[in-house]
Structure 1
């Protein structure tokens, strides 16, 4: 189960590697400031995002991931009460509702909206989610997907519940749950190939994943019997589960050429929205399925919202190569890495103790 630790550590390393070069939408400027090819942790320049942090630090998204890891370890399970208590006592007192403030040097939209509703409007948890179309929920839930990888229904329910704390758009939640369903497959031993979506669709048919499903097999028309037993899930369609398979197909099709690979950010888009981020992460994680360094560095050097791209890609490839497949220099260069490794090991042990369904 080194894949469990590989997934969470892969995400944290990807997050930290992008910290010093985050949100450069002018690639020429990024090359001038950060060099022609970023290969390691760098300190953010004055006046840039995350100013004041140093090379090897993690962002607030990484902090939230570790906060959830700590909660899982303490409770030996996903406890929403414990996690929201941590948000209330460990994070929200340090925020003021503005972007360029708070632990990690920047507070994302979904967290700012949750803070406003929870602290300013005094709403209960369950009524604090907003419409942000970004990847924060998907990234935070990586720890849940790694822990419950062998239990798809439990994984999907816990991931969905956690994401709904801060994001409520059904399409965004569906894509976030789908990402973690893909990650769970990889942690369980699969590789990110074009066949990944068929594995996920089988889980929809079994009722393990909460997606509406009418068609059969490879999306053929339903028979009368299929129509009668169509799976009606929480999400309108299973299309979010198909993205990874198509991205993997693009990565393996000899007639589709993206060179250098970092230009995947230009094809799928450099912005923050999840529908830009996921296809690029899936593509890189399929193309470099056994090469963590290449996958994450191409994610970073594509600019824009490269932190999310690197974090998502890092989790997917880390799950495929395991902790031992992440270059040692990235682990040692990550500040407070021993703490994160200890948490990853604890989650791995919890995952091992769970019997497959």
Structure 2
């Protein structure tokens, strides 16, 4: 079930690439907020009983909800709040300044946590951020030694903003995505997929299509050294520690999007309705479940922001992360000007987010 697409937000007021960069940023926040009410329903019959047959916009968490109790539709989750700290830092500093971002977390965010799941802004603290709090606050470790083994997609959601800011210099987008991911997560699969997602997003902002040729374009940039994604096998074989720096043993994270895009357009493997993609790739929180589903929706609905994010939400499970990642991918394709106005108008922090997104997008390099 798909609702009709309303008019877009506004006529383009930015250059096309900047419009797409701003769309990626705003789309990520919209997806996050859409997931607040119906977050983490693994029983889809229960999801339908609580929210009806089709969720079409922002919703309040139910009184009996375990997560995000007392919050309102359109509010940001804790992941969205951290993203807003990063967005403010990018706008204020003109680019990624890790010291400024982590200072904001030290001063404005971490003191609000106590290391337990249900204390802190946003109503729920994810495992990765509880590990950061433990390392930084309880153990006094410096930033850079705060990452843990969580296999979730919070870092990928954050690096949306870095991919948007550095879309025209994909090597920098990948480098900063790698650095930012390590602040909270160090699992090699999580880092590879998060950085790969940033590389995909930067190419979409540059105007490339999300199709079966996208991965080849990414690999061309790896081969010419523009994206230092893969450690050359000759180096990796002679130095066991080679993969400790930036670079991975395998390019699979860059190959995944086109495989998914090809299946999304193949009539013989069609997923109907599209929200059932969550059941194909998995309902759970691990990035290997969430990210392919977001890629699928981005490839299936390349010019329809609303359909992509709403099918992401109506699939249940970790729908918040699925919609956040899909919202960024769709925003990168349709631009800020192509996002229906109601999604921006219903976003609690919408005016600030749009303004900051335009500032960051205006500096895209």
Query: Is 1:257 the counterpart of 2:274 in the alignment?
Result: no
Which one of the candidate residues 28, 39, 62 is aligned to 1:22?
39
Q: Which residue of 1 aligns with 2:252?
A: 239
How far apart are the structure 2 equivalents of 1:137 and 1:47? 29
Q: Which residue of 1 aligns with 2:126?
A: 108
Q: Which residue of 2 aligns with 1:13?
A: 30
How far apart are the structure 1 equivalents of 2:149 and 2:209? 32
Residues 15 and 62 in structure 1, CA contact (< 8 A), matched pair in contact too: yes
Give the ranges of 4+ consecutive aligned residues of structure 1 lying more than 3 Å apart after TM superposition: none
Which one of the candidate residues 123, 140, 160 is aligned to 2:178?
160
Give the SS at the match of 2:268. coil
Deviation readout 1:229-280 (Å, 9 max, x if unpaired): xx98621110111111101001111211110000000000000000001110
Structure 1 unaligned residues grouped into runs of 5+: 216-223
Q: State how 1:139-288 maps to structure 2 within 5 Å.
A: 139-212=157-230, 234-288=247-301
Q: CA deviation at 1:184?
A: 0.5
Q: CA deviation at 1:209?
A: 2.0
Q: Which residue of 1 aligns with 2:352?
A: 339
Query: Is 1:119 the counterpart of 2:137 in the alignment?
Result: yes
How far apart are the structure 2 equivalents of 1:153 and 1:207? 8
Deviation readout 1:280-330 (Å, 9 max, x if unpaired): 000000000100000000000000000000000000001000011111111
Residues 183 and 319 in structure 1, CA contact (< 8 A), matched pair in contact too: yes
Residues 2 and 324 in structure 1, CA contact (< 8 A), matched pair in contact too: yes
TM-score, normalization: structure 1? 0.92
Residues 162 and 173 in structure 2, CA contact (< 8 A), matched pair in contact too: yes
Deviation readout 1:186-234 (Å, 9 max, x if unpaired): 111112111110011011112222322669xxxxxxxx9xx9xxx9862
Structure 2 unaligned residues grouped into runs of 5+: 1-17
Deviation readout 1:69-101 (Å, 9 max, x if unpaired): 110111111101001101101110000001112
Which one of the candidate residues 92, 106, 110 is aligned to 1:88?
106
Deviation readout 1:23-42 (Å, 9 max, x if unpaired): 00000000000111000101
Query: Is 1:40 the counterpart of 2:53 in the alignment?
Result: no
Residues 50 and 106 in structure 1, CA contact (< 8 A), matched pair in contact too: yes
Q: CA deviation at 1:336?
A: 2.2
Q: CA deviation at 1:141?
A: 1.1
Q: Which residue of 2 aligns with 1:75?
A: 93
Residues 205 and 213 in structure 1, CA contact (< 8 A), matched pair in contact too: no
How far apart are the structure 2 equivalents of 1:199 and 1:11? 24
TM-score, normalization: structure 2? 0.90
Which one of the candidate residues 287, 308, 311 is aligned to 2:324?
311
Residues 8 and 315 in structure 1, CA contact (< 8 A), matched pair in contact too: yes
C-alpha RMSD over aligned residues:
1.6
